[in-house]
Amino acid sequence: MRRAVMLVAVLASAACAPTPLPPADGSGWVRLPPEAGSGVLFDPDRIASLTIAATLTAPSRQEGDPVAQARALGWYEFATVALNAPRWAGLDPLAVLLLREGRTELRAAYGIRQDAPAQLVLDSFFMAAAALSVGDRAGAVRSFPPGILTIPGETMLARLAAPPSLPRVAQASAFAGVAVNRFGSGGVVRTGALAR
């Protein structure tokens, strides 16, 4: 009984601990912004892998739906870093390598600086999706901080509405989806696990 009480106390303190900011260069871990709308009971890493496998493997699936495309790209940026965390040490290493290669292709296609921090990029995509969902195109452009885009904001929004072909992104998304699905079962996370 005493051990159970101590365990509950430790878990409670971990859940209440402040979440540190991610590394500025995006090389460590990432966290989801509120705009991602992930449920607290689900594993965001698995949601990311399932989402990109279901959406980015075929650009036509988001044709004419810039909100869905922006969200998918946000999940892709998240997965590229999140699946490199220690908890995924047994995951096929090719998954992260392919995701990184695809990220280079993705950023080039959408006019995102290659050296932009992953956290900043994924935040921007999710915020842009939220703005576009209420018809706020100007707000969607403002979601990307000055200096992060290499093309005009309106051009980037046009590409969200008419996604270009991204074969490396498609390959990486499909591979990561299968690799994560094979990596044991799961879906429910322990207390505090969303504080990434």
3-state SS string for 85-136? CHHHCCCCHHHHHHHHHHHHHHHHHCCECCCCCHHHHHHHHHHHHHHHHCCC
Q: Within a domain: residue 189?
A: no
Mean of pLDDT over the chain: 81
The answer to whether position 31 is within a domain reads yes
In a domain, 105, yes or no: yes
Q: What digits encode the pLDDT tens for the residues 113-168?
A: 999 999 999 999 999 999 999 999 999 999 999 899 999 999 999 999 999 999 99
In this structure, is residue 190 part of a structural domain? no
- Quote the pLDDT of residue 25: 42
Is 107 inside any structural domain? Answer: yes
Kindly state whether residue 24 falls inside one of the protein's structural domains.
yes
The answer to whether position 188 is within a domain reads no
Residue 147 lies in domain:
2-182
Domain count, the chain: 1
| Assigned domain for 193 exists | no
Higher model confidence: residue 184 or residue 171?
A: 171
